[in-house]
Amino acid sequence: MEGLDYSRIHAKKVRIQFWAKSSVSGTYGFVIANTNDTRTYVTTFTINASATWQKVVLDVQLDTVTANWVFDNTHAFQINFILSCGSSFQTSNVNQWQSAEFFSTAAQTQWATTSSATFQIDQVMIIPQDFTLGGAANVDVPFQRAGRTIQQELAMCQRYYTKSFPLLTAPQNGSGSGIWTGLFAGTYISSCTRAGPTNGFDGFNQIVGREVTFPVSMRTAPTLVAYGTNASNWFAYDTNGVVFGPATMSGACDRSFTPTLGALIGTTTAQAQMGGHYTADAEL
């Protein structure tokens, strides 16, 4: 969890609930920790029957110590489902915060020792509410998306990862449906100045595309990957049917980037159009 989100629940009582299914029944560790595991909270949950979905509910007092926690746009908070654990990382101090790196207890089921074992998790929720009050422990909270609607959920995801491809299209190079859309189209250079000696080639000055704006503000300036029509990591530059590349994606910030192309070669045509796709990754 990002620190800006974690800051809203720090030191509060929360309910963490999820559904789990394992081919191996037994006791599993569950750990809440800060960025570098210098503050950890260890508890356990039990899978009573193998190959059966089971709802798990854990009521937790989050850490009241502020030191070692961050409240900015970096990685602040994490939960871990422990499937196997060596003795060096086991503790007998459960359901309490410790300034040490622990992950489970001596009761831990060593799931990894079973060949072809499976473990599935679904519908994880962190609910900022004190369920330890009288009568509240038995309240059943149905699962709901953090974003409530699919559109809000998508926008929340796009803070950490976004792409120019349609929602259900995997990023890829090529000229198939949904790949070449002229995403950065519109930057036409009608009168470029020739750059330097041609020695068999013609060159133009740098071409700067239109600024590309992300759907939502990202967590930080993302890592960008370009996709084009004819080669890996190329944008497509179409000049009267001739494809050029590669391009540079510069000036990236949390809101946008600018595609640029320097020294177009291999043509005497003075008009160029930018096109291509991208992915932007600002995950924790």
**Least reliable range by pLDDT among 54-63, 235-244, 263-272, 275-284:** 263-272
Report the largest interatomic distance among the alpha carbons of the chain, rounded to a whole angstrom: 84
Alpha carbons 13 and 86: distance in angstroms, whole number:
30
Top pLDDT among 166 and 61 is at 61
Q: Which of 22-26, 186-190, 250-254, 261-265 has the highest mean pLDDT?
A: 22-26
Token reading at 143: 């699962």
DSSP designation for 229: S
Does 84 score more than 90 pLDDT?
A: yes
Q: Burial, 10: exposed, middle or buried (Cβ in 10 Å; 0-12, 13-18, 19+)?
A: middle
Q: Residue 67 above 50 pLDDT?
A: yes
pLDDT in the model for residue 87: 96
**pLDDT score of 209:** 64
Domain ranges, ordered by start, for the chain: 3-144, 161-284
Separation between Cα atoms, residue 240 and residue 63, nearest integer Å: 63
Beta-bridge partners for 274: 237
Question: Can you give the pTM of this predicted structure?
Answer: 0.80
Residues 6+ apart with CB under 8 A from 58: 15, 16, 17, 30, 43, 45
Range in 113-122, 129-138, 143-152 with the lowest mean pLDDT: 129-138
Q: Closest by alpha carbon to 277, among 244, 229, 217? A: 229
> With respect to CATH, is domain 161-284 assigned 2.60.40?
yes
Query: What pLDDT score was predicted for residue 229?
Result: 64
CB atoms within 10 A of CB 146: 11
pLDDT digits over 96-106, tens only? 999 999 999 99
Residue 237: per-residue pLDDT: 56
pLDDT of residue 223: 95
Torsion of CA 37, 38, 41, 43, to 10 degrees: 50
Q: What does the pLDDT average to over 137-151?
A: 87
| Fold of the domain spanning 3-144 | Jelly Rolls (2.60.120)
Which tops the pLDDT comparison, 80 or 196? 80
Q: Which one has a higher pLDDT value, 176 or 236? A: 236
Least-confidence region, from 107-121, 182-196, 228-242: 182-196
